[in-house]
Structure 1
Amino acid sequence: MSEVNQLSVGWERCPWDGPDAPMSRRERAAAKGQYLASIPPAITDLAFDIPGEIAAAAEDALVEISRFDAELSAALPRADGELAPLAVVLLRTESASSSQIEGVTAGAKALAVAALNESAGQNARLVAANVDSMQKAIDLADDLSTDSILAAHRALMHDQAYARPGQLRDGQVWIGGGPTPHTATFVPPRPERVAELMDDLVSFCLRTDIPVLTQVSIAHAQFETIHPFNDGNGRIGRTLVHAMLRRAGVTRRLTVPVSAGLLTDTAAYFAALGSYRDGDPTAIITQFSRASFAAVGNGRRLVGDLGEIYSTWQQLLPSRQGSAARRLLSYLLSQPAVTVKHVQQHLDVSQPAAQRAVDQLVEAEILKQISTGKRDRAWIAREVITALDDFATRTGRRG
């Protein structure tokens, strides 16, 4: 069996020919000469001797994720024969929490409005793009490849040219430490190594002889160590987690918001990545196990809140079963901001019918108008916004 220390990154000295950025005299003195870049090991064929208690906790967490996924079949009353789309709610929440780790925040209201392609702040648009990239990865979970990872990155960073959307980085990046890599907290590998390392990572992800959450944790840590993109590495790395869970058959209908669990202790998460790079994968496996339990517990509260909201709405709305207004209720759980045009397209009804549905929900105090005038009016379901923001508050995230 391979030794754990085979996971340790190596190092190589590299010449620095980067731009002459403004810096202090101390920084300039430290930035002279060569810097050290990491050389992550190939992991495709490595074996992993994980202590029994760590492996058992990871297996328990995986069972809890799968149980939560199954619970959703009966989580809410059915509307028109279809399960209310909780997968989209949890996907959006995970995307917001995932982006928060990198300092990109957006409240539930701003994010819901951004999903309408209406006027929204930059942070909300970035989180909405993160939703698109995660959906892309989940859609491609059965065809996990470097190309599918690039497609997720393209969806995430599509309007940010500096990030080279859908392309591996062609320059050196580093984490922390100032304007050059000489004093960085961590320096990922030279760009010339990235393509081969990504192919190795994908081969590792396709293995079937490693317990799922252990494999997911190691793959995520290896991805963050490679840091294959100019920007968006954290968000795509967490997207990979959900693609792997789907591929393994652990989740079927939703994304369990694992990174919302990671948010409860980001310092421990980053320390675990450091331990992985030093050759010890146990800390990152432990962090993923804890994050999974935290995410499922929080997710159950969100599901309960949404169930109560849905039940109350059904009592408030006098419309008959099958009406446009009734059909809109379950959709509002996943998309709590709408326009008449949006309702018209989603329900496949005429503009007058869509307007009547909105009016009925306003009269029942389920929807509230948030924009004025007759053009580009939008409405929100305040109770759903509150439930999502409460979820975020429980993770420690601030929108």
Structure 2
Amino acid sequence: MNPAHTINRPAWPAHDAVVRPWRQRQRGGTRADRIFAEVVAYVPPAIADLPVAAPPELVLLGEEALVAAARSDARGRGRSAALGRFMVRSESVASSKIERITPDSVALARALAGQGKSAPARSVVAAMEAIHGLLLRAGSTGRITRDDVLDAHAALMREDSDPGDRAWAGRFRAEQNWLGGSDHSPRDAVFVPPPPDLVPNLMSDLIRFANRDDVPVLIQAAIVHAQFESIHPFTDGNGRIGRALIGALLQRRGVTLYATLPVACALGAMRPRYFEALAAYRRGEIDALVRILGVAITVAADEAGVSFLRLRALPGRWRCLLGVPAESAEDRILEFLHDRTTLMLSDLVTHTGAPADTLAGVTDALEAAGILREVTGRLRERIWVVADVVDELDDLERRIHARLASGAGAGAGAAAVPTSSGG
């Protein structure tokens, strides 16, 4: 019998290097790009059946993270649909920021209302749909399947501005990709994922590992995420789908039931260390990523729990502000707003059945009270954001970044988070 693999440097297998011939499909770049003849790609190990044993330190960190996640999730009970949408919005924005996709708030509001022309904003909205679908299925079925991942990628890439990447939405790549270096060849790449012919089997192996129930949840989530990023199975969108898999695994294992945790926001606050930990995984070193993910989950859970309580209190605060009786028609409008981040007049017409002329006065009053904030600056097809909701989500991101910047993390795990060698 093979001894159980422990989560430390010598025990978990490093990636293997394979050499493959390389030829440009379309000439471009420098002469060095054009004469580049072979590529060294790195293939992650098969992990579906590897035994996993964790040192006590990481077991403790995992327990702390899961307790924090469960405590936060319990605060979302009772308003699961609204809080789920709010957190998915926060998570998709944060995950997209890691990929340098950063639409402004006005463009995002327009895209959420179906009127956006900004490609980055549409990309974030597509990420919301992709993340929501993947998490919903993992939570409802208790499984993560290959089709779930492909469907999430199809949803993510439907608005991609690159026709080539859009054509591969929901399909594994058929060409060699690489990270960093030249745009025209894998010359000087930071990392070259496995050749495309190996991707289907590697993904099948990863899916099997993701559906095991004998691995500590935190360690399983870290390995699933890192393995996916190493495989890099798609032409684009790998980072966002890979981070969505963390939330999907928490749903599948029953850690979260009511709301998504903004883990990507916390990972973004530790971006250099997070990328260093992913690189370390390729060398067979898993500890760093497990620690970083443990801190990310704990901090995200703690701060999301605060936001959940604040969001739940909004309708009552609005009622007092406006002097609206409970259970009245006006109160029902406030409850409707509580479930949204953006609003158009047509949304209220559909919800209430009242004429637009009548409801225009309602939106004016809500805007005057500071409950709605208009973001389009025009008279027709106006779009509002629900100010307190959007501001709370922005404040959630600020709190997470401030807490991690100050070094305040997750108990035993906080002190163990590695510092960036780049300062």
TM-score scaled by structure 1? Answer: 0.89
The CA distance in 2 between the partners of 1:71 and 1:300, in whole Å, is 6
The CA distance in 1 between the partners of 2:152 and 2:81, in whole Å, is 26
Q: 2:93 aligned to 83, 96, 99, which one?
A: 96
Task: Quote the residue 2:13 is aligned against.
Answer: 7
| Aligned partners of 1:112 and 1:335 also within 8 Å | no
The CA distance in 2 between the partners of 1:95 and 1:325, in whole Å, is 32
Task: Quote the residue 1:131 is aligned against.
Answer: 128
1:140 equivalent in alignment to 2:137: yes
SS across alignment from 1:140: helix
1:70 Cα deviation after fit: 0.7
The CA distance in 1 between the partners of 2:400 and 2:30, in whole Å, is 38
Change (3 A) 1:334 1:224: farther
SS across alignment from 1:379: strand
SS across alignment from 1:181: coil
1:91-170 to structure 2, matched below 5 A, reads 91-141=88-138, 142=141, 143-160=143-160, 161-163=163-165, 164-170=168-174
1:354 Cα deviation after fit: 4.7
1:41 Cα deviation after fit: 1.1
Q: 2:48 aligned to 39, 44, 65, which one?
A: 44
Task: Quote the residue 1:78 is aligned against.
Answer: none
1:57 equivalent in alignment to 2:54: no
The CA distance in 1 between the partners of 2:20 and 2:264, in whole Å, is 34
Task: Quote the residue 1:77 is aligned against.
Answer: none
User: What does the per-residue CA deviation read over 1:49-74, in whole Å, with 9 as the maximum and x for residues that have no partner?
Assistant: 32210121012101110111012237
- More displaced, 250-259 or 101-110? 101-110
1:165 Cα deviation after fit: 0.6
Q: 2:334 aligned to 329, 334, 341, which one?
A: 329
1:385 equivalent in alignment to 2:354: no
User: What does the per-residue CA deviation read over 1:346-383, in whole Å, with 9 as the maximum and x for residues that have no partner?
Assistant: x2533446545434423533223333555312222333
TM-score scaled by structure 2? Answer: 0.84
SS across alignment from 2:77: helix
Task: Quote the residue 2:305 is aligned against.
Answer: 300
Task: Quote the residue 2:417 is aligned against.
Answer: none
The CA distance in 2 between the partners of 1:362 and 1:154, in whole Å, is 37
| Aligned partners of 1:45 and 1:204 also within 8 Å | yes
Change (3 A) 1:315 1:232: same
The CA distance in 2 between the partners of 1:22 and 1:83, in whole Å, is 51
Q: Which amino acid aligns with 2:97?
A: Q
The CA distance in 1 between the partners of 2:13 and 2:348, in whole Å, is 52
Change (3 A) 1:145 1:84: closer
The CA distance in 2 between the partners of 1:354 and 1:378, in whole Å, is 14
1:184-333 to structure 2, matched below 5 A, reads 184-307=189-312, 309-333=314-338
Change (3 A) 1:288 1:21: farther
Q: Which amino acid aligns with 1:341?
A: S
Q: Which amino acid aligns with 1:156?
A: L
The CA distance in 2 between the partners of 1:130 and 1:393, in whole Å, is 21
- More displaced, 82-91 or 352-361? 352-361
Query: What are the ranges of 5 or more consecutive residues in structure 1 without an aligned counterpart?
Result: 75-81
SS across alignment from 1:252: coil
User: What does the per-residue CA deviation read over 1:171-190, in whole Å, with 9 as the maximum and x for residues that have no partner?
Assistant: 11111122321311111000
SS across alignment from 1:12: strand
SS across alignment from 1:8: coil
1:38 Cα deviation after fit: 1.1
What fraction of aligned residue pairs are identical, expressed as a percent? 34
Aligned length: 387
Change (3 A) 1:147 1:289: same
Q: Which amino acid aligns with 1:251?
A: T
Change (3 A) 1:331 1:120: farther
1:323 Cα deviation after fit: 3.6
The CA distance in 1 between the partners of 2:17 and 2:337, in whole Å, is 52
1:324 Cα deviation after fit: 4.1
SS across alignment from 2:194: coil
- More displaced, 370-379 or 230-239? 370-379
- More displaced, 270-279 or 221-230? 270-279
Task: Quote the residue 1:86 is aligned against.
Answer: 83
User: What does the per-residue CA deviation read over 1:309-368, in whole Å, with 9 as the maximum and x for residues that have no partner?
Assistant: 4443121123333344322334434523211112233x2533446545434423533223
The CA distance in 2 between the partners of 1:84 and 1:317, in whole Å, is 25
| Aligned partners of 1:242 and 1:255 also within 8 Å | yes
Q: Which amino acid aligns with 1:174?
A: W
Q: Which amino acid aligns with 2:13?
A: L
SS across alignment from 1:7: coil
The CA distance in 1 between the partners of 2:278 and 2:100, in whole Å, is 18
1:308 Cα deviation after fit: 5.5
Task: Quote the residue 2:37 is aligned against.
Answer: 33
Change (3 A) 1:198 1:303: same
Change (3 A) 1:158 1:134: same
The CA distance in 1 between the partners of 2:124 and 2:281, in whole Å, is 28
Q: 2:22 aligned to 7, 16, 19, which one?
A: 16
The CA distance in 2 between the partners of 1:199 and 1:363, in whole Å, is 55
1:120 Cα deviation after fit: 4.5
User: What does the per-residue CA deviation read over 1:13-62, in whole Å, with 9 as the maximum and x for residues that have no partner?
Assistant: 1111124554346x549x63311011211100001232210121012101
